[in-house]
Structure 1
Amino acid sequence: MSDVSTETRPSALGAFRDAIVAELGPDALLDDPARMAPYQTEWRNLYQGKAPFVLRPRDTDQVSAIMRLAARHAVPIVPQGGNTGLVGGQIPREGEVVLSLDRMTAIEPVNVAGTCVTVSAGAILSEVHDAADAAGLMFPLSLASKGSARIGGLISTNAGGVGVLAYGNMRNQVLGLEVVLPDGRVWNGLRALHKDNVGYDLKHLFIGAEGTLGVVTRAVLKLVPKPHALDVAMVGVASPADALALLGQVRGALGDALTGFELIPRIGLEIVARHRPETRQPFAETPEWAVLIEASTFLPERPMRDVLEQVLMRAYEQGLVSDAVVSQSLGEARELWQIRELMSESQSVLGGSIKHDVSVPVADVPAFLTEATAAALSVVPAARPVAFGHLGDGNIHYNLSQPEGADKAGFLARWEEVNEAVHAVVRRYGGSIAAEHGVGVMKRALLPSVRDEVELAMMRAVKDAFDPDDLMNPGRLLPDR
């Protein structure tokens, strides 16, 4: 697959730019460096963009016009949502033009009877939450960047988040899509059907495709009943093995009411306290590991707090739990969740961080953590593991912070070496090296180590069928041939 971005001729970019201005008007285009800056870098500053300009369409028709003109002038396009991605897939390289969906923010009235809502790709996740809540329903996907993440990007990366245990990832929340294809044609798959068994389910090709097959412009999202009450507990445990045993007991007691089960290490609690000292500290003595448990009550007559407290008391008597705090109000529940949500940004207090977004079978998480730590420390012996995440679905953010007092640049220079050590453990357990953040630029070269040639050939065949000229987010997701 050719690297289109490095071959784009200045004359082609100029002609494309002139055609855009002529057809869509000058307000669809940004070329002022200061105004372009937010589109050119991601929040960790690992990737710096080099786009000549940024396009900001107002609606699907304008996206269609942009893609038609891009195909005519052979200009590569990088779709971008809220620019919250962590693997570089949304950051433009030289010669690539950003197509931002941030002006397409419409949220249609909630279809209460149909338990769904149609939104434009630029709608912000927290605003979708608010719209669903106002209608007495809930959009269950949530993550720390909910105030800036946009629906189109979440669909294109098949985002996960903290509700996957109960509700599944973004793929499970989408009923229908509208997509602009690389040649400018519009596929209208905006169906609000919960059951539709007519041939290939094409929407799933675009969910998780990371903008390599087309531009998602609108979506029909599935909504769920809003819980009657929410109970959250923060529990101290001695080890991930004890946390796993506790998961079995809590799941057995709560059933479908268990909607969150998050693992947090001691160092994670400590860095949140350092980074945000106003955050509530749940324990008098910080445990080696903590588990955040969420139980959702959908019927008033089901007292889940009582059930949760009973199962935690039994676990305490068995020695699985050293301490526990159970929320007594929604405000307290949010305070406990805030500790988990601040984990990613709080790692900055430790300096440089080499990150891994991996998953293994749930039963193998404790063994994986032991082996991954040994593997990582064999590369950088004094590094500080910060492993946290969604124990209930096996997705662990296995991050390694620099040794205390070490040179940050020198530590980060060993990123690939540390990645290989950790990913080798992931492969031994049949896990995934991209559990919920996607592949992007960061992990595309790793795909041949985790996907066989038959699967890679199938993926390339899909790409060639939709985008034979490789103009949609080239150099992302798929490895070089």
Structure 2
Amino acid sequence: MSLNPCDANFMDRLAAELPDGTLRPAEPRFLEEPRGRWQGQAGAVACPRTTAEVATILHAAHDARVAVVPYGGGTGLVGGQVAAGGLVPLVLSLERMTAIRSVHRAENVLIAEAGAILADVQKAAEDAGRLFPLSLASEGSARIGGLLATNAGGVNVLRYGNARDLVLGLEVVMPDGRIWNGLKRLRKDNTGYDLRNLMVGSEGTLGVITAASLRLFARPARQGAALMVVDSPDAALSLLALAQARVSDGISAFELIGRMGLDFLAATMPQVRQPFDNKPEWMVLVDLGLPQGLDPSDALEGLFAEALEAGLVSDGVIAQNMGQRAEFWSLRESIPEANRHIGAVSSHDISLPLSAVPEFIGRAGPALAEIGDFRVNCFGHLGDGNLHYNVFPVAGRSRADHEHQRDSIKACVHDLVHSMGGSVSAEHGIGRLKTADLEKYGDPVKLAAMRAIKQALDPRGIMNPGAVLADPEMQAE
């Protein structure tokens, strides 16, 4: 269905229905995305203060057939927050809706508005003596609405699950401006189709999340971490199984780190302290959170001793205090920044069955070598099978030298992932970057159901057109 541009006539009409200052010109920050692949466009940016104002905006856009691009913290890596083509849309930013509406300590529940920054939600939970476990490198700027809309993962998925596992209820403004008051605090609500899980991960294509009821957890009484050297991803996987057998759900994170990531850090961020004089080919970061009475250092020492005897590890260092634990995490969380300094030709956020991870790593390198000479930085959340498999030019060359090979590199990696029963989008979403991948690798029955849902909830196609579903009938010509 055809759309109309966000022009002066529409903005005049919308401004008359909203408080002064709600509409503003589109600043450059609303038209950019972190990887610099697209430059967005917008007729204006709407910055509502309340759910009622969001409803007014969507009702007007629905009536006028004007596209709306929801905008969270702008940290998404698949282009879901920018519209580079088609008719000029209205950008809807939730940055003024930042309230922590309530904390229900006895229930382990916190209700936050969608514009709340993740770090602020974590702090509110901490102030209540609780933990909100969603954690990722961009937590100082990523906003709750965007994180839920993309079903963000992060480093603690192994223990606490993805973003959708941390949501009890939602408040959502539908494309026609109606408000779904689903902001419940219930663990059990077996009353038909689960709209909560439908909205989480929909990337702003089915409605706008304005608030969420979030699960909190008891804070671990004792925390610890260790870096352990392994000789292969297969040994890392065996170490994970051993750690789970010894510590069970006390493992908060289990991160795989390759030699190339350490080399990139040394070259671009030498201030980041590295724990080993001789960089290992592979190592893992094991993070524990244990209840009172259990010592994480003892647990990690016991794990290392048994792993050493089994030939799974050859070296390691256990954090002696929380400061050293923070240093270990600083190293891990600095790898994406080092990647940006180097400049990837093609980056891949993939997941595989755990047992298939070592085989994939072993097969992907030789497959890429048939295309050209590259460096690969493979790292990620081994505990949940999520790898960041990023391909870089060799030293002395830039990603611009390989731009003509980018599609073939991506196809090489994604074809292999798909053939091994994996997913080409583990935690970043589809956005605009991977719409063709979804069409190529997605199950046709699932895709048909997704299109039917989109048509039913957003029949005029105003919500983030071009994201997730690359259906020309839902985009402006």
> What residue number does 2:446 align with?
455
**Of 45, 49, 53, which residue of structure 1 is paired with 2:36?**
45
> What residue number does 2:323 align with?
331
Question: Which moved further from structure 2: 203-212 or 105-114?
Answer: 105-114
**Of 407, 418, 434, which residue of structure 2 is paired with 1:427?**
418
CA distance in 1, matches of 2:130, 2:263: 36
| TM-score, structure 2 as length reference | 0.96
| TM-score, structure 1 as length reference | 0.95
Q: Is 1:203 the equivalent of 2:196? A: yes
Written as runs of structure 1 = structure 2, the 5 A alignment for 1:434-449 is 434-449=425-440
1:145 positional shift: 0.2
> What residue number does 1:412 align with?
403
**Of 229, 247, 263, which residue of structure 2 is paired with 1:254?**
247
1:245 positional shift: 1.0
CA distance in 1, matches of 2:227, 2:268: 19
**Of 80, 86, 89, which residue of structure 1 is paired with 2:77?**
86
Partner of 2:52: helix, strand, or coil? Answer: helix
> What residue number does 1:344 align with?
336
Partner of 1:216: helix, strand, or coil? Answer: strand
Q: Is 1:71 the equivalent of 2:67? A: no
> What residue number does 1:27 align with?
21
1:374 positional shift: 1.7
> What residue number does 1:101 align with?
94
1:417 positional shift: 1.1
1:322 positional shift: 1.6
1:409 positional shift: 1.5
> What residue number does 2:475 align with?
none
Written as runs of structure 1 = structure 2, the 5 A alignment for 1:116-127 is 116-127=109-120
> What residue number does 1:359 align with?
351
Question: Which moved further from structure 2: 352-361 or 19-28?
Answer: 19-28
Give the residue type in structure 2 aligned to 1:74.
Answer: R
Contact 1:388/1:398, CA 8 A, preserved across alignment: yes
Q: For residues 298-356 of structure 1, what are the alpha-carbon distances to aligned partners after superposition, in whole Å with 9 as ceiling and x for unaligned?
A: 2x212232122111112123322121111111111111011111111111332333100
> What residue number does 1:181 align with?
174
**Of 223, 227, 248, which residue of structure 1 is paired with 2:220?**
227
Contact 1:353/1:402, CA 8 A, preserved across alignment: yes
1:182 positional shift: 0.4
Q: For residues 447-474 of structure 1, what are the alpha-carbon distances to aligned partners after superposition, in whole Å with 9 as ceiling and x for unaligned?
A: 1322222111101111011000100001
| Structure 2 runs not aligned, ≥5 long | 473-477
Question: Which moved further from structure 2: 342-351 or 321-330?
Answer: 342-351
**Of 257, 260, 265, which residue of structure 2 is paired with 1:264?**
257
Q: For residues 264-289 of structure 1, what are the alpha-carbon distances to aligned partners after superposition, in whole Å with 9 as ceiling and x for unaligned?
A: 00111122233322222111221101
Question: Which moved further from structure 2: 150-159 or 44-53?
Answer: 44-53
> What residue number does 1:477 align with?
468
Contact 1:385/1:398, CA 8 A, preserved across alignment: yes
1:432 positional shift: 0.4
Partner of 2:106: helix, strand, or coil? Answer: coil
CA distance in 2, matches of 1:348, 1:69: 40
CA distance in 2, matches of 1:472, 1:198: 26
1:201 positional shift: 1.5
Contact 1:254/1:308, CA 8 A, preserved across alignment: no
Contact 1:274/1:349, CA 8 A, preserved across alignment: no
CA distance in 2, matches of 1:148, 1:413: 33
Give the residue type in structure 2 aligned to 1:362.
Answer: L
Number of aligned pairs?
470
CA distance in 2, matches of 1:445, 1:46: 16
**Of 372, 376, 379, which residue of structure 1 is paired with 2:368?**
376
1:403 positional shift: 2.0
CA distance in 1, matches of 2:340, 2:40: 22
Q: For residues 51-78 of structure 1, what are the alpha-carbon distances to aligned partners after superposition, in whole Å with 9 as ceiling and x for unaligned?
A: 1211111110110000011011110000
Partner of 1:113: helix, strand, or coil? Answer: helix
Partner of 2:139: helix, strand, or coil? Answer: coil
CA distance in 1, matches of 2:212, 2:30: 23
Contact 2:102/2:112, CA 8 A, preserved across alignment: no
CA distance in 1, matches of 2:260, 2:189: 47
Q: Is 1:159 the equivalent of 2:152? A: yes
Partner of 1:436: helix, strand, or coil? Answer: coil
Q: Is 1:56 the equivalent of 2:52? A: no
CA distance in 2, matches of 1:407, 1:135: 48
Partner of 1:342: helix, strand, or coil? Answer: helix
> What residue number does 1:8 align with?
4
Partner of 2:170: helix, strand, or coil? Answer: strand
Give the residue type in structure 1 aligned to 2:168.
Answer: L
CA distance in 2, matches of 1:127, 1:235: 32
Give the residue type in structure 1 aligned to 2:152.
Answer: A
Partner of 2:370: helix, strand, or coil? Answer: helix
CA distance in 2, matches of 1:188, 1:311: 48
CA distance in 2, matches of 1:262, 1:80: 30
1:98 positional shift: 0.6
> What residue number does 1:319 align with?
311
Alpha-carbon RMSD across the aligned residues, in angstroms, is: 1.3
Identity of aligned residues (%): 46
CA distance in 2, matches of 1:156, 1:422: 26
